[in-house]
């Protein structure tokens, strides 16, 4: 598989699946920006190489379409602060307007698409929807470790549209390195602290 450090991003649009599912307070301010900060090195690497970036993520669990409280527009100020540059935002992820904006991106520019889960096709792993998302990029980078295990349109399915131009970002790469270190370390005993809201998905890891 192609590695992020070995890929030439010059004049390429990188479609990145990030995990910006962050907590917001009642005034829609980000209360924990850890996940946003974690994605910054991958984004900056691509921009430094002369590429542009299209970011896609989910936020919360919206039911039945668009909901303002789950709009990714609320995290844009925090993202701009962390990147130190202006980030374009479109209020959809597969509309004609969103494709026009992404197609017009210049090297060094960043676009944030609206919440993927405003479309039921995302969690259903719909191939047509994934194809629409794929039109936003020349290459695909998965840097959303928290959703990498799900066969959603923006993770497993969209990758099929980039047979030779897909890779992991630094977030996933570092997680894999740490897991490998844990499983194959000669230093015993080892302590692992595993967290998360759903115990059911942690049991197999613990076993």
Q: d(Cα 108, Cα 45) in Å, to the nearest integer?
A: 10
Question: What's the pTM?
Answer: 0.90
**CATH topology (fold) of 4-169:** Rossmann fold (3.40.50)
Look at residue 129 and give its three-state secondary structure.
Answer: helix
pLDDT at 1: 63
Domain boundaries, the chain: 4-169
Direct distance between the N- and C-terminal alpha carbons of the chain, in angstroms, rounded to an integer: 29
Tokens representing residue 64 in the block: 């039945």
Q: Which helix (H) or strand (E) holds 88?
A: strand 88-89
Which residues make beta-bridge pairs with 54?
A: 15, 111
pLDDT in tens, the chain (207 residues): 678 999 999 999 999 999 999 999 999 999 999 999 999 999 999 999 999 999 999 999 998 788 999 999 999 999 999 999 999 999 999 999 999 999 999 999 999 999 999 999 999 999 999 999 999 999 999 999 878 777 899 999 999 999 999 999 999 998 888 888 888 878 888 787 887 777 887 887 778
Burial class (CB in 10 A: 0-12, 13-18, 19+), 196: exposed
Convert 11-44 into a string of H (helix), E (strand) and C (coil): CCEEEEECCCCCCECCCCCECCCHHHHHHHHHHH
């Amino acid at each position: 598989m192609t590695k992020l450090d070995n890929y030439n991003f010059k004049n390429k649009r990188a479609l990145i699946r990030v995990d910006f599912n962050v907590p917001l307070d009642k005034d829609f301010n980000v209360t924990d920006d850890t996940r946003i900060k974690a994605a910054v090195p991958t984004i900056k690497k691509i921009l430094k190489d002369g590429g542009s970036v299209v970011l896609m993520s989910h936020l919360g669990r919206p039911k039945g379409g668009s909901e303002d409280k789950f709009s990714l527009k609320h995290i844009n100020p925090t993202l701009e602060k962390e990147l130190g540059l202006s980030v374009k935002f479109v209020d959809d992820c597969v509309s004609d307007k969103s494709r026009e904006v992404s197609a017009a991106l210049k090297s060094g520019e960043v676009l944030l698409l609206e919440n993927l889960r405003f479309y039921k096709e995302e969690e259903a792993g719909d191939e047509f929807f994934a194809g629409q998302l794929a039109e936003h990029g020349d290459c695909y980078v998965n840097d959303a470790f928290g959703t990498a295990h799900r066969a959603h349109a923006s993770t497993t399915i969209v990758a099929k549209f980039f047979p030779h131009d897909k890779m992991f970002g630094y977030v996933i790469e570092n997680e894999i390195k740490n897991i490998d270190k844990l499983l194959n370390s000669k230093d015993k005993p080892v302590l692992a602290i595993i967290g998360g809201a759903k115990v059911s998905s942690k049991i197999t890891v613990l076993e």
